[in-house]
Structure 1
Amino acid sequence: MGNYSIRDFVNKTQQDQNENDYFELETDRVLEVNLNGEVWSKMGAMIAYVGSIKFERERILEHGVSKMFKKALTGEGTQLMKAKGKGRLYLADQGKKITIFDLQNESLCVNGNDLLAFEPSINWDIRLMRKMAGMMAGGLFNVMLDGKGKVAITTHFEPLTLIVKPGETVYTDPNATVAWSGNLKPEFVTDITFRTLIGRGSNESIQMAFSGEGFVIIQPFEEVYLSSDS
Structure 2
Amino acid sequence: MQSPLFGHTETQAVGRYALQNPQLLRVRVDGSGDVLARSGAMVAYTGKVAFTSWSPAGRRNRRGNDPTTLELMRCDGDGTVYLANLAQHLHILELQREQLTITSSYVLAMDSSLRWQVVGVQGGEHISGVGSRSLELTGSGTLVLMTSGQPLVMRVRPGAYCFADADAVVAWSSGLEVQLQAQSRNTEVWRRRGTATEGWEMAFSGTGYVVVQPSELLPPRRIPLRGVATQSGLGQGGPRGVSR
Please report the TM-score for the alignment, with normalisation by the length of structure 1: 0.82
- 2:36 maps to a residue whose letter is W
**Offset of 1:136 from its aligned partner?**
3.0
Deviation beyond 6 Å, 4+ runs, structure 1: none
The equivalent residue for 1:47 is 43
- 2:171 maps to a residue whose letter is A
Spell out, residue by residue over 1:91-146, the C-alpha distance to the aligned partner (whole angstroms, 9 max, x if none): 0011011010111111111111101111111111111234223x334641211112
Q: Is the 8 A contact 2:60 2:118 kept in 1?
A: no
1:210 counterpart = 2:200: no
Spell out, residue by residue over 1:172-230, the C-alpha distance to the aligned partner (whole angstroms, 9 max, x if none): 11111011112124221122xx325xx8656232111111111101011111479xxxx
Taking a change above 3 Å as real, the CA distance of residues 6 and 215 of structure 1, as seen in their structure-2 partners, is same
Q: Is the 8 A contact 1:20 1:34 kept in 2?
A: no
The equivalent residue for 1:28 is 22
Taking a change above 3 Å as real, the CA distance of residues 175 and 9 of structure 1, as seen in their structure-2 partners, is same
**Offset of 1:19 from its aligned partner?**
5.2
The equivalent residue for 1:195 is 185
The equivalent residue for 2:233 is none
The equivalent residue for 1:128 is 120
1:15 counterpart = 2:10: yes
**Offset of 1:13 from its aligned partner?**
0.6
Q: Is the 8 A contact 2:121 2:178 kept in 1?
A: no
Three-state SS of the structure 2 residue aligned to 1:64 is coil
- 2:147 maps to a residue whose letter is T
Three-state SS of the structure 2 residue aligned to 1:50 is strand
Taking a change above 3 Å as real, the CA distance of residues 65 and 142 of structure 1, as seen in their structure-2 partners, is closer
Taking a change above 3 Å as real, the CA distance of residues 200 and 187 of structure 1, as seen in their structure-2 partners, is closer
Q: Is the 8 A contact 1:137 1:225 kept in 2?
A: no
**Offset of 1:8 from its aligned partner?**
4.2
- 1:22 maps to a residue whose letter is R
- 1:14 maps to a residue whose letter is T
Three-state SS of the structure 1 residue aligned to 2:40 is coil
How many residues get paired?
209
Taking a change above 3 Å as real, the CA distance of residues 137 and 99 of structure 1, as seen in their structure-2 partners, is closer
| Higher helix residue share | 1
2:92 aligned residue (100, 106, 110) = 100
Could you tell me which runs of 5 or more consecutive residues in structure 2 were left unpaired when the two chains were aligned. 192-197, 221-244
Spell out, residue by residue over 1:128-168, the C-alpha distance to the aligned partner (whole angstroms, 9 max, x if none): 234223x3346412111121111100011111111111121
Three-state SS of the structure 1 residue aligned to 2:60 is helix
Three-state SS of the structure 2 residue aligned to 1:69 is coil
Three-state SS of the structure 2 residue aligned to 1:55 is strand
Distance 2:72 2:88 in 1: 18
- 1:56 maps to a residue whose letter is T
The equivalent residue for 2:172 is 180
Q: Is the 8 A contact 2:35 2:112 kept in 1?
A: yes
Q: Is the 8 A contact 2:127 2:189 kept in 1?
A: no
Distance 1:218 1:102 in 2: 18
Moved more, 123-132 or 28-37: 123-132
CA RMSD, 1 decimal: 2.3
The equivalent residue for 2:240 is none
Please report the TM-score for the alignment, with normalisation by the length of structure 2: 0.78
Spell out, residue by residue over 1:42-94, the C-alpha distance to the aligned partner (whole angstroms, 9 max, x if none): 111111111111111124xx3324259323xx6xx411111111110110011
